[in-house]
Chain A
Amino acid sequence: MKLAFSIAKRFLLSGKGQTIMIVLGIAIGVSVQVFIGSLITGLQKSLVDKTIGSSSQVTVSTLDSTAYITNFQDQLSVIQASDNMITVASPAINQNGALVVGEQSEPVLARGFDFNLANDIYHFDEKLVSGRLPQSANEIAVGSNLLENLSLALNDEVTFQVPLVGDTTFTIVGVYDFNVKTINETWILTTLATLQTIKSISSNEVSSIEMQISDVFAAETVALNVQTALQNDNLTVDNWIANNAELLSGLQGQSTSSLMIQVFVMLSVILGIASVLAITVLQKSKQIGILKAMGIQDKDASLVFLLEGFILGIFGAALGVGFGLGLSVMFTTFAIGADGNPVVPLFIDYGFIGLSAMIAVAAATIASLIPARKSSKLSVIEVIRNA
């Protein structure tokens, strides 16, 4: 091993130009791999984030839409304990109605939250444009579009009309902007207690419990676990996947195409290394002939090339990871949108990068199997004759 290694090292050092070319070849392959990988994962993450990042991913509600979840505090703890992927579980109450200002009236959905919990799902604090979040009874926050449509202003008082229930006067304490028009036009945010009073339900009753989870693609299993833990036939557990089949298949398509790209990049790297190393065996056949005449064992002769592949792989992979990361940093620093954020946010996954590097090293080593075999088969006589 030591012998083969030192010969391999010398062979590589003696053909510096060629060695650098091979290392660069592998490095470019690996950097493309790293960059594309980071880009696609980044794209997926941001897409997922945009679509379901600020919404409930798993939701518990009652089968009967007129019923409520009772003892929600207890249920919350049961849910939290059911699956450790659940990052937040937050109670919510919904009430349809209309917001009336003088002659004008707009249909709205009043949403009651425990803002401390719900903030982890909806990130209200970031979305607040002015004022504050509701704290006490009958305080609300409205969307920027609704504010405009009804020509309202902060601290204005408005009437919330619920047919068959009656009118309530709300004070606008905050204005939010979700960047989504339908939400901005229809949602009014308030406390759980405000809606419990309007609905005349007890303070331990809510309409639903909303959740976010650490791995969004595990929503289905989490939902199942929650369902099992609740042991309540009246409750149903929904998840975002069931409702967003299109998004999911889009994401999967992207994953597959990214995998394809990476496979082909690696394949071309392997073919490249194999053919270049095959040429090196030809170039070094004289040396191998001499070594064999001096009595080197065939397995050591092939080990020389296997190690060459391995060393090239290591350096190529290291350089490639460097390139890939550099490229990614450049991309996120220079390709930025008007808001100062990168056009496409990259996701640097060190596990993935490590895996790419390892695959490259393995590929380079495997690619050198062919020349290694060739070297082992080489007959001294042929070499000495064709001097």
Chain B
Amino acid sequence: MLNKDVVVLSHIDKIYGENTKFPTQVLYDINLSFEDGSFNSIIGQSGSGKSTLLNILGTLDRPSNGSIEIQGIDTAKMKKNALAKLRNETIGFIFQFHYLLPEFTALENVLMPYRISKKPITKEVMDRANDLLDLVGLSKVKNNLAVNMSGGQQQRTAIARSLMNNPKIILADEPTGNLDSDTTEQIYELLRQINKTYKTTFIIITHDRHIAEKADRIIEIKDGKINLDLRQ
């Protein structure tokens, strides 16, 4: 393993309903590693196993076989609470359906990962949250409830939130899936800018070729296997 790799997946299998009459294998012996600071895209037909792979990468789900090392630490032996802490500190998630907490404002949503870490909210932390909202161009609507924002604004809030704890890795599952093409372009530019500025590793599932073709690396998943692993 190269030291430069932030995530290493080895021999990952995923079988849903393992102990039922009809187990379905979704991932087959996946071996992948991602370089620190790289911008990666994952493409593939719907149902090919992309989300399953990303969820395993993000420790939201466990593989049936194989191991995931995040920053050199094997996650297989970690308990639920330790994994939660790891997610909180090292991984930012961006989902297709934004998944903001509708009861909270944009600013509060952005602060949430920090509050979950239970560290005291200092002025610096507030400044960071505000800066991030500035970065995604939402300073004006930061006190709006999440439900009172447009799809693009919600997604940008989710991006700001994913950055709050300065994670090493950002995992995005079709982040522009239901946005118009202008907004998609803006979001892409934003992600790329963050990737350049903070050296954050991005792993993005996308159906949008305009995003995929600009990534440093394109991984195509087909029927639960890596069909192509392309670099520029």
Contacts and interface: CB of A to CB of B under 8 A. Distances in A.
Q: A and B bound?
A: yes
Interface of A: 3, 6, 10-11, 13-14, 286-287, 289-298, 300, 380-381, 384-385, 387
B84 A292 contact: yes
B95 interface: yes
Contacts of B117: 295
Given A380-B60, A381-B61, A295 B103 contact: no
Interface in B76-106: 80-81, 84-89, 93, 95-97, 99-104
Nearest to B161: A294
Contacts of B102: 14, 287
Nearest to B173: A384
B55 interface: yes
B116 A294 contact: yes
Contact of A294 (B55, B93, B103, B118): B93
Given A292-B84, A384-B60, A287 B89 contact: no
B116 A387 contact: no
Contact of A10 (B55, B58, B89, B103): B103
A298 B81 CA distance: 7
A294 to B, nearest CB: 5
Contacts, number: 68
B115 interface: yes
Contacts of B135: none
Nearest to B112: A294
Output the residue of B86, B115, B161 with the most chain A CB within 10 A. Answer: B115
Given A289-B99, A295-B116, 11 more contacts: A290-B100, A292-B84, A294-B87, A294-B88, A294-B113, A295-B85, A296-B88, A298-B80, A384-B55, A387-B97, A387-B99
A381 B60 contact: yes
Given A298-B84, A380-B60, A3 B118 contact: yes
Contact of B84 (A6, A295, A384, A385): A295
Output the residue of A289, A300, A384 with the most chain B CB within 10 A. Answer: A384
Contacts of B60: 293, 380-381, 384
28 contacts: A3-B115, A3-B118, A10-B101, A13-B103, A14-B103, A287-B101, A287-B102, A291-B101, A292-B84, A293-B60, A293-B99, A294-B88, A294-B93, A294-B116, A295-B85, A295-B89, A296-B88, A297-B85, A298-B80, A298-B84, A300-B116, A380-B60, A380-B61, A381-B60, A384-B55, A385-B51, A387-B96, A387-B99
Contacts of B88: 294-296
A298 B116 CA distance: 11
A3 B88 CA distance: 15
A292 B85 CA distance: 10
A281 to B, nearest CB: 15
Contacts of A293: 58, 60, 87, 93, 99
Contacts of A387: 95-97, 99
A286 B93 CA distance: 14
Nearest to B171: A293
Contacts of A290: 99-101
Nearest to A284: B103
Contacts of A287: 101-103
Nearest to A295: B88
Contacts of B112: 291, 294
B104 A10 contact: yes
B170 to A, nearest CB: 13
Contacts of B58: 293
A6 B112 CA distance: 11
Contacts of A381: 55, 60-61
Interface string B39-56: 000000000000100010
Interface in B108-162: 112-113, 115-118, 161
Nearest to A15: B103
B86 A295 contact: yes
Contacts of A3: 115-116, 118
Contacts of B97: 387
B104 to A, nearest CB: 6
Contact of A384 (B81, B86, B95): B95
Output the residue of A14, A293, A295, A384 with the most chain B CB within 10 A. Answer: A295
B17 to A, nearest CB: 13
B106 to A, nearest CB: 14
A291 B81 contact: no
A289 B84 CA distance: 12
Nearest to A380: B60
